[in-house]
Copies of this chain bind each other. A is one copy, B any other.
Amino acid sequence: MKEDRQRAVLTLVATRPVHSQEELVALLQRQGFDVTQATVSRDIKELGLAKVPIRENGGDIFKYVVPSAAVNYVSRLHRAVAELVSSVEGSVNMIVLRTPPGSAMLVASAIDEAGWPEVLGTMGGDDTVLTVVRSPEEMPVIKQRFLDLKGSTAA
């Protein structure tokens, strides 16, 4: 019952723009699911559906979409840096992160996956990660971003 309904929700949002939970309620009722907005709100949370602004015709509106890998990338990076990085140093257009032995590759791949546009590339050795930033001017910004990531658990 609940499972069927949630499958229907996934199909609906995958096949047309659904702009609000009330709209989803109406679509579900047309399929025989007799539910209220409260239940849909819970379904959305359980399914992990995201509400995103999109351009449609002229204006900006919202729609619900299935969750993306990008979400996980961000939190993977967050965890990796917060748990593994012990120091962050910058020089010219590079940033050097220190990790416990053996973890550097893991951190480097998380950084790569995050796909920050200011970062040209990242290499992981054994206990050292080297991140190359596009320009020296941007280096401090990215360095600070690593420090934020590192600190946001402790803080």
Chain A contacts to B: CB under 8 angstroms: 11, 14-17, 44-46, 48-54, 60, 65-71, 74-75, 78, 114, 116, 141, 145, 148-149, 152
Are A51 and B54 in contact, CB atoms less than 8 angstroms apart?
no
Give chain B nearest CB distance to A95 CB in angstroms.
14
Q: Determine how many copies of this chain the complex contains.
A: 2
> Can you offer 13 A-B residue contacts whose CB atoms are under 8 A?
A14-B116, A15-B148, A15-B149, A17-B75, A44-B53, A46-B53, A49-B52, A50-B65, A51-B52, A52-B67, A52-B71, A66-B74, A68-B71
Q: Is the interface of A mostly helix, strand, loop or mixed?
A: helix
A54, B69: Cβ atoms closer than 8 Å: no
The answer to whether A52 and B53 have CB atoms under 8 Å apart is no
Given contacts A69-B68, A70-B66, A70-B69, contact A16 B78 (CB under 8 A): yes
